[in-house]
Structures are given as C-alpha cells and as structure tokens.
C-alpha cells in the first residue's frame, strides 16, 4: 500500500472527528472509527508506519488519537489462528 496515500486517508479521518466540540470524545471516536471500519491489514500498515517513521506526516490530532488509543490499531491474529486448546474445545 502506498504510504503517502494511507497517511492522507488517516488524516482525513482525523479532520472529520477533530471538528467535534469535545476533544477527548473526538480523539476516542477517531480511534474507534479506525478500529471498527478499517481492515486489520490496513491498521497493521498504519502501525508499521508509526513504528518505522514515527508518525511522520500524521496530523497532530490523529497522532494524539492513536497515542491515547493504541488498541485502535490492534489486530487479533490469535482470533484468526486459534491455539490448539481453542481448536480442541470447538465443536465440529
């Protein structure tokens, strides 16, 4: 995925939510939007950009939202690949 395009998309989400009057709620809502509506692979790519580039290009608002709500970028690989004990307890 094109990193510049991804950063633009994340920043657009931030612009939308930054207009809310309650900043704390806006930060939470922006992070929740990414978590709810962005595919896990895209969230992983945003996370990679943060790790490798320190959030370069992110708006201050969205950078703060992600810093306060890191769970927004979490992907749950273990849900896709259950452990052997989870497999054993799952009925056929």
Report pLDDT for 53.
Answer: 87
Residue 60 burial by CB count (10 A; 0-12/13-18/19+): exposed, middle or buried?
exposed
Q: Are 75 and 44 in contact (CB under 8 A)?
A: yes
Tens of pLDDT along 48-59? Answer: 888 888 889 999
Q: Where are the domains of the chain?
A: 3-89
Tens of pLDDT along 68-77? Answer: 999 998 875 4
31's CB contacts (< 8 A; 6+ apart) are: 65, 66, 68, 69, 71, 72
- Joined together, the tokens standing for residue 85 give 């004990």
């Amino acid at each position: 995925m094109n990193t510049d395009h991804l950063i633009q998309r994340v920043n657009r989400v931030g612009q939308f939510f930054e207009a809310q009057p309650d900043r704390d709620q806006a930060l939470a809502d922006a992070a929740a939007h990414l978590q709810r509506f962005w595919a896990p692979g895209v969230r992983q790519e945003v996370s990679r950009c943060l790790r490798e580039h320190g959030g370069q290009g992110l708006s201050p608002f969205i950078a703060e939202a992600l810093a306060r709500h890191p769970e927004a970028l979490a992907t749950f690989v273990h849900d896709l690949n259950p452990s052997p004990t989870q497999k054993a307890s799952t009925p056929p």
